[in-house]
Amino acid sequence: MSDGWTDKKRRSICNFLVNSPKGTVFLYSLDTSDISKTADKVFKMLDDVVEFVGEENVVQVVTDNATNFKAAGDLLMKKREHLYWTPCVTHCIDLIFEDFEKHLKVYQITIKKGRRITTYIYGRAMLISMLKKFTKGRDLISPGMTRFATSYLTFACLHELKASLMSFFSSNEWKSRNLELQ
């Protein structure tokens, strides 16, 4: 599996992992900041990982579904005929959610309201502490999830904790602090 991201120093990083019935193992990271991510270069990176792991140990290669990765996957399957390339399902779902947010007004409005609530609470340490009393230690945000899916996972949590949140916002503790969402 490969996963690309940008670190805090704005470097482009690609992580390579292996998944088996025993779990997922991190292999290595590669700083790809100075590498143009053409299909040929991506193919070379993926092919090197297959070589490192041993072709006999690889059945499937999973990457995001950008055009260059798809083309690299095709090249890899041509070279190594028993391998399959597939796009990452999480990435595909993430792109669907991104389209929802961009093109459907109801999603834009709902996401904006949910972000307003969570940003307000998580921007104030005292409120986080208060919130956890009402939610029995549960968080509203699922950190580390995919970008756009995070909004939907957070909304699922907001919905699940609706009664706790209503108690939180109508509590004497909330009222005594004279807090309101701005």
Question: What is the Cβ-side half-sphere exposure of residue 176, based on CA atoms within 13 angstroms?
Answer: 6
Give the contacts of 32 (CB within 8 A, at least 6 positions apart): 4, 12, 13, 14, 45
Separation of alpha carbons 167 and 162, rounded Å: 9
Q: What mean pLDDT comes out for the span 104-126?
A: 85
Asked whether residue 117 is assigned to any structural domain, the reply reads yes
Contact in structure between 47 and 72 (CB atoms under 8 Å) = no
As for how many domains the chain has, the answer is 2
**pLDDT at position 91 over 80:** no
Q: Which domain holds residue 69?
A: 2-87
Separation of alpha carbons 88 and 61, rounded Å: 9
83 and 134 together in one domain: no
**pLDDT at position 158 over 60:** yes
Asked whether residue 92 is assigned to any structural domain, the reply reads no
pTM reported for the whole predicted model: 0.60
* In the block, residue with structure tokens 């669907």: 96
Task: Indicate the pLDDT class of residue 143, thresholds 50, 70 and 90.
Answer: low
**CATH code, domain carrying 72:** 3.30.420.60
**pLDDT at position 1 over 70:** yes
Phi first, then psi, for residue 124 (nearest 5°) are -135, 110
Which of 60, 87, 114 marks a domain boundary? Answer: 87
53 and 114 together in one domain: no
